[in-house]
Chain A
């Protein structure tokens, strides 16, 4: 889903960047609307940070253009861009106090002293650090440093804020609290955020839209639920959450969809591939149901038969590891809705796995 053309605020056209033999960016096309909280998601080395740094002007692309509000800023140096960035390392100036750090960008614009003091105070209250203006970065906790870095990046009221792994240095509880806070601040200031993260939970929890990157390309772009529910590729399915991938052959296509069969399973999924076609299907572990197999019988559509190999107790639920007759493996996760500590099926037992019609997604690449 791309935003309507007239509302496009940031546009990236054919961006390419090579580092030696590797293509960090391999023809990236992207449109982001004003006020979005857009997440760039991918593993390390996928090019997401390079893309962000090209937006900030800290990296010069080999080819392509970056347009901000219709203006081509590709050749504009970083210090001239109306864009600010929150660095992964926070990059706070150790020789300045918190107020000095927040005021740094404003001083470059040679704002009057009184205006700077007012803005610094407003920023400190925005990130709930009132009274911390005189502290040195070395005297702050990790969470407080993240807040200072955010306040400093927002102080110049940029129309576009870039966040490079903003919360990766924080422990899990603090990270979740800061995610909510970032979303709140984004909504209050109306600033367009582009967040780079390798944490898919973080991307899905925060973003209005996200892009999954792999080897310098945007593999899929859309709302978090869209991308999670309808991954277009094996990479996206496996990167965003957990996924079972079953490979089978289309046996029949009709009005109700396509029948796909493989050793130990049968699938009825949307689509109409020609019979005989090889397809890969993704099914999320939480969409699967598991029961002790009643009696040997060929699997009906949207069923699989196999043997339970192992059970992992995760506290919030169980993960069952099932091996199908043909050797394919399935992960089945079941929430612990009642207080159960004993798995309902024991390893070694034959099991029947089933799912609803809309659970399987045929992968296109």
Chain B
């Protein structure tokens, strides 16, 4: 086999992967979104269908129109973005000092500390979120501890609140923020901080003027890595969040499985995808040009 044929073969693997697991589902999603609700299995009629007059392409924009008309969907999207943004910000605030401490730890300790960051992944995500219910509920560990210490007189409702939602989101996504931040911070040349100190910068000013600006790409990567999955998160708001937290993940679930409105759910999923991808593409184009 020639080197060129081999190279094509190697490149064909990821190309096929993308085609099978991204492009094909995306095409199905598009088809459903432009279809119409109907009784039966599947519960929709595709835009390209056989009519008595033969094959016809009759796309329907009904679902997209409904998305724009009913403020419920737009509000769910906006609320999801807000929750994702706040969660990402909390993850950055907590993750940055952690990543910085790991990056500056003695070399032998670094791998162990990184392993600790990734350790939660060894337990089922669902179990870990369920465990938080045990901690946060009225008869839970946290309330019991606070009662025993005499800090509170009666249990305070912690579960099913905004607090529990953000706690769970931050807990679940923190490793996704720490890892890219660590990658960025550990790559920084330690000479730069010494040069800053040598030129008269106190440690705090050296951090603000050298470490922080140089880690901006890492901060951006960490933010996106939390924000994107958090925007569509279903499990954490469902298990820990309050009833008012109608996030887009819950809405998708309801439309697909309860209302069986597949076209609307697909349209909503597409809207979420476009809203998440478009800013990143624009950003990349701007950064690539600079």
Contacts and interface: CB of A to CB of B under 8 A. Distances in A.
A binds B: yes
A91 B191 contact: yes
Interface residues of B, number: 19
Interface string B198-239: 111111011001100110000000000000000000000000
Contacts of A83: 198
Interface in A78-125: 78-80, 83-85, 87, 89, 91-95, 104-105, 108-109
Contacts of B199: 79, 84, 104-105, 108, 152-153, 156
B200 A58 contact: no
B245 interface: no
Given A87-B191, A93-B192, A58 B210 contact: no
A193 to B, nearest CB: 15
A85 B198 contact: yes
A161 to B, nearest CB: 11
Contact of A87 (B194, B200, B206): B194
Given A89-B191, A91-B192, A108-B205, A77 B197 contact: yes
B195 interface: yes
A206 interface: no
Contacts of A243: none
B200 A91 contact: no
Contacts, number: 59
Contacts of A58: 194, 197-198
Interface in A51-98: 56-58, 77-80, 83-85, 87, 89, 91-95
Contacts of A84: 198-199
A93 B211 CA distance: 10
A91 B205 contact: no
A156 B191 contact: no
A210 B198 CA distance: 24
Contacts of A56: 198
A206 B192 CA distance: 27
Interface in B19-71: none
B189 interface: yes
Nearest to A94: B214
Nearest to A103: B199
Interface in B54-99: none
Nearest to A109: B200
Interface in B176-203: 189, 191-192, 194-203
Interface residues of A, number: 24
Contact of B195 (A57, A77, A91, A95): A91
Contacts of A153: 198-199
A104 B196 contact: yes
Contacts of A152: 195, 199
Contact of B210 (A78, A79, A93, A105): A93
B192 A108 contact: no
Interface string A250-276: 000000000000000000000000000
Contact of A91 (B194, B201, B209, B213): B194
A89 B197 contact: no
A91 B214 contact: no
A236 B198 CA distance: 32
Contacts of A78: 194, 197-198
B197 A87 contact: no
Contacts of B214: 94-95
A108 B202 CA distance: 9
A197 B197 CA distance: 23
Given A93-B210, A94-B214, A95-B214, A105 B200 contact: yes
A153 B196 CA distance: 11
The 5 closest A-B pairs by CB, nearest first: A105-B199, A108-B200, A91-B195, A91-B191, A78-B197
Interface of B: 189, 191-192, 194-203, 205-206, 209-210, 213-214
Interface of A: 56-58, 77-80, 83-85, 87, 89, 91-95, 104-105, 108-109, 152-153, 156
11 contacts: A78-B197, A85-B198, A89-B191, A93-B196, A104-B199, A104-B201, A104-B209, A108-B200, A152-B195, A156-B199, A156-B200
